[in-house]
Amino acid sequence: MRFQVLSIIHHSPHPLTGELPTAAERLAQVVDIGVSAEELGFDAYAVGERHAGPFLSSSPTVVLGALAARTSRIRLLTGVTVVAILDPVRVAEEYATLDQLSRGRVELVIGKGAEAGHFDLFGLDEARQWEYQAEKYELLRRLWREEGLDWEGEFRPPLKNVTTVPRPYAGPPRVWHGSATSLNSPELAAKHGDPLFTANAVQPRPAYAKLIRYYRERFEAYGHDPARAHVAAGSGGLLIAQSEGDAVRRYKELYEARVRQSFRPHLEGRAGYNTPFRTIEEAIADGPQLIGSPQQIIDKILGYHEVYGHDLQSVTVDGFGLSTAEQLEQLQWFAEEVAPAVRRAAPTRLWDAAP
């Protein structure tokens, strides 16, 4: 198993104290945590992309560029790049630039995004999101693989003899497909022989397992080698304690306050938005959240691995309002007690070669 730290750069008041760091403080914290993740031996650090809601992640390339300048080994991912609302030419240029600056450490996770508001913001029809996604990703692939490209589609002006610059550092970066609720992303990933990144953040396990099964079936149906069907999984947040009882005592009020704060009534009933695990006890027992003792978290990740067969586990430590020191404590605890056990029990060939 490989391990990634993800931030979607929440920027909302602390659910208990109401304190809110400045944007500059919050962004600096994200970069500092990324640097520490490399020092602790994590394999990747990812920054999300949001254009609506209480987040500061509208420009992930800028944040990852700052992180690239302060690290040398850790892979830099997105989580996700909302390619459906973006111009593929700019995506090709910006991420190839980041790939050059980081010496080939960039990988994208593309998806439609988890905020319904960004389609209106960019003047796009949400009902056509999967059409945008398919066409724009097809163009991005070609821009990174071809020079002097001629292209014509529905959602942007035609291209004639176009070569985007810079070119990627050492060939096209790997692109994962973020998958949360729809079969469209697994289908697109399977078609192109790309890996799948399941959100594993809000819904019960069977919902994500269904998407992964479909992906693997379609991957093989398209004629790709099943050994290349890599899968990654997110989580609903990391809260480690000495024991389950200690986790409940320390984090119950915090966890449940954040659930109430993040509840979006206008999206009630839509899969993938509001967590059904409203209490910490429910989250520990059945949710994707990694809460409890180190052994409980080991067991939960390996339980997911039995169902998902995943190669990469993503964790998030900044979603509940923990201080920088508390986030670092969580990551160190995970790196020292959880990661080694899971790596031994679930080996993978993902990222065997250095970037």
**Per residue in 147-188, pLDDT tens?**
999 999 999 999 999 999 999 999 999 999 999 999 999 999
The pLDDT value given to residue 274? 72
Q: State the pLDDT at residue 275.
A: 84
Instruction: Give the model confidence (pLDDT) of 258-313 as tens digits.
Output: 999 987 766 676 666 778 899 999 999 999 999 999 999 999 999 999 999 999 99
Q: What is the pLDDT of residue 272?
A: 65
Q: For position 117, what pLDDT does the model report?
A: 78
- The domain tally of the chain equals 1
Does 71 reside within a domain? Answer: yes
Q: What six digits make up the tokens of 106?
A: 């960039």
Q: Give residue 331's pLDDT.
A: 98
**Mean pLDDT, rounded, for 213-233:** 98
C-alpha distance from residue 123 to each of 59, 84, 91, 136 (Å): 18, 12, 18, 16
Domain membership flag for residue 28? yes
For residue 107, the Cα-to-chain-centroid distance in whole angstroms is 11
pLDDT of residue 311: 98
In a domain, 74, yes or no: yes
Domain that holds residue 132: 2-238+296-345
The rounded percent of the chain whose pLDDT value lies above 70 is 97
pTM score, two decimals? 0.96
pLDDT in tens, 15-56: 999 999 999 999 999 999 999 999 999 999 999 999 988 999
Q: How confident is the model at residue 325 (pLDDT cuts 50, 70, 90)?
A: very high
CA pair distance 287, 201, nearest whole angstrom: 8
Asked whether residue 83 is assigned to any structural domain, the reply reads yes
Average pLDDT, the chain: 95
Asked whether residue 278 is assigned to any structural domain, the reply reads: no
pLDDT(92) > 90: yes
pLDDT value at position 269? 66
pLDDT at residue 332, rounded to an integer = 98
Does the structure show a pLDDT above 80 at 354?
A: no
pLDDT at 229: 98
217 pLDDT more than 70: yes
Q: How many residues does the structure list for the chain?
A: 355
59: domain CATH number? 3.20.20.30
Confidence at residue 333, expressed as pLDDT on a 0 to 100 scale: 98
Q: Is 79 among the domain residues?
A: yes
Evaluate whether 296 touches 238 at the Cβ level (below 8 Å). Answer: no
d(CA 318, CA 295) in angstroms, rounded, equals 21
Nearest to 142 by CA among 67, 92, 79: 92
pLDDT single digits (tens) 48-79: 999 988 999 999 999 999 999 999 999 999 99
> How much of the chain, in percent, has pLDDT values that exceed 90?
91
Decide if 286 is inside a domain.
Answer: no
- Domain presence at residue 250: no
